Chain A
Amino acid sequence: MMWEIIYILLGIGIFFNLLASVGLLRFPDVYTRLHAGTKCTTFGSIFIASAAIAYGLWRWYDGDKSMISLAIHSFFALIAILVTNPTGAHAIARAAYRSGVMPKKAVTDELGGKND
């Protein structure tokens, strides 16, 4: 029973990470690619980390006491991903805009090419 839950969590996580890489290939410019690369990898990583947490807690419950550290470390890795992933995407988008990469196919641009 536990194995099935872990496999399902891993499957969902890998599916969304795969979707992120397909999005990176299909979208036209850096901003739309960041959309795929930020949202999908964060969401996928939540499920992969949940699988690791579930496995660690399960083994801990079964009597292998040292496995609790796997769950704790995965949990903190998850928090670190949740905080740093959007921040990093924000930094990349800002740096791209300031170095003159304009969004392709844009219908509006209210930032207006400000580079200071």
Chain B
Amino acid sequence: MLVFIGTTVFCFILWLLFTFNGNVWQWDEISAGIIFSIIAGAISRKIVIKEYKQLSPKKWLLFIAYLPRFFYEMAKANFDVAYRVITGKINPGIVKLSPNLKNNLSLTILANSITLTPGTLSVDVDDEKNLYVHWINVKPEFFEVSKECKCKYVCSTFPDWARRIGE
């Protein structure tokens, strides 16, 4: 029930933002919004919010704190791609990483983050939650690093951030 109310309120806030046109909302807009957000909340309550603890404000604050660092890595990734587009120097390969994350949300955050950050693109995930990553510039030193450190070697502190936000 709490999940249903949360989803409905979330949909209603989105509706209010989308229909805002500079003036205060009319009553017909608000009543239509309530009807549609109740329908949307009833349909998608099992999809949007799966666990209560994912609603906690601490996670959202952590997520906002994560954004500047993410944006910085993304800018770096773009100059990296620009360099490779112009010079054509690539050394690609698919590597296996074991980030040791427990649930799907943190794994999704990690996979999306490493897709948008320098030189890596997530390709597949297996049942043991190992990520297979296409790496555009495989360094020879990578094969000498021990199995636990491989993940840290490729995507620096992102697994820690994903663990803090998602678990």
Residues in chain A within 8 A of chain B (CB atoms): 16, 19, 22-23, 26-28, 31-32, 34-36, 38-40, 42-43, 60, 65-69, 72-73, 76, 83, 85-87, 89-90, 93-94, 97, 103-111
Contact = CB atoms under 8 A, between A and B. Distances in A.
Contacts of B14: 76
Interface in B71-117: 74-75, 77-78, 81-82, 84-85, 88, 90-96, 111-112, 115-116
A90 B112 CA distance: 8
B73 to A, nearest CB: 10
Contacts of A28: 90
B122 interface: yes
Contacts of A76: 14, 17-18
Nearest to A25: B85
Q: Which of B20, B92, B119 has the most CB of A within 10 A?
A: B92
A60 B75 CA distance: 30
Contact of A27 (B90, B95, B119): B90
Interface residues of B, number: 37
A111 B132 contact: yes
Contacts of A27: 85, 90
B18 A90 contact: no
A31 B133 CA distance: 10
A69 B9 CA distance: 20
Contacts of B92: 31-32, 103-107
SS class of chain B's interface: helix, strand, loop or mixed? mixed
B21 interface: yes
A111 B85 CA distance: 26
B96 A110 contact: yes
A97 B94 CA distance: 11
Nearest to B118: A39
Contact of B74 (A22, A31, A39): A39
A110 B133 CA distance: 9
A86 to B, nearest CB: 4
B153 to A, nearest CB: 14
A68 B94 contact: no
B94 A86 contact: no
B20 A69 contact: yes
B112 A34 contact: no
Contacts of B96: 110-111
B81 A40 contact: yes
B165 interface: no
B85 A26 contact: yes
Given A43-B74, A90-B123, A93-B123, A31 B134 contact: yes
